[in-house]
């Protein structure tokens, strides 16, 4: 019988022995980051469905899936530090792309045309970056 656990790096726990989730090490800051990432992920999925099947819709769906998969990675303790590190530029890139496509190259006026969904998403993303930076520095 193949023993997969013999090939795992013990410092990169992916599964808790009692089940899939491994949340014992998570604190309030982690849960704040999880909430913020889920908010942004759901916003992107909603927008993606609305714009599908265009390229913009696909990019929204991709971003939404990435936010939710990264959240799942945190919850199962899969390379959390790497997820923090990659999450910072990914989330910052979302903000830059949003501004560039909507305001710099688009017809909209900033901040008058941000809208409720845009405001909720961007506030969540800015706060998520702050949380990720703090988590990265602490771990």
Phi first, then psi: give them for residue 51, nearest 5 degrees: -100, -10
Residue 54 lies in a domain: yes
pTM of the model: 0.83
SS3 content of the chain, % helix, strand, coil (to 5): 70, 0, 30
Residue 84 lies in a domain: yes
Q: In which band, very low, low, confident or very high, does the pLDDT at 106 lie, cut at 50, 70 and 90? A: confident
Residue 3 lies in a domain: no
Chain centre distance of CA 115: 21
Chain centre distance of CA 83: 9
Q: In which band, very low, low, confident or very high, does the pLDDT at 5 lie, cut at 50, 70 and 90? A: very low
Domain encompassing residue 46: 26-138
pLDDT at 63: 97
Residue 8 lies in a domain: no
The structural domain count of the chain equals 1
Between CA 73 and CA 79 the distance in angstroms is 7
Residue 17 lies in a domain: no
Q: DSSP letter at 130?
A: H
Residue 81 lies in a domain: yes
Between CA 90 and CA 73 the distance in angstroms is 15
Residue 11 lies in a domain: no
């Amino acid at each position: 019988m193949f023993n997969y656990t013999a090939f795992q790096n013990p410092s990169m726990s992916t599964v808790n022995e009692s089940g899939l989730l491994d949340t014992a090490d998570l604190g309030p800051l982690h849960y704040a980051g999880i909430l913020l990432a889920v908010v942004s992920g759901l916003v992107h999925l909603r927008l993606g469905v609305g714009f599908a099947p265009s390229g913009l819709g696909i990019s929204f769906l991709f971003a939404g899936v990435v936010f939710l998969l990264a959240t799942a990675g945190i919850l199962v303790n899969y390379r959390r530090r790497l997820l923090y590190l990659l999450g910072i530029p990914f989330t910052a890139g979302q903000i830059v792309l949003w501004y560039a496509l909507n305001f710099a190259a688009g017809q909209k006026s900033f901040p008058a045309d941000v809208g409720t969904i845009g405001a909720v998403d961007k506030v969540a993303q800015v706060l998520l970056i702050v949380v990720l930076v703090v988590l990265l520095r602490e771990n």
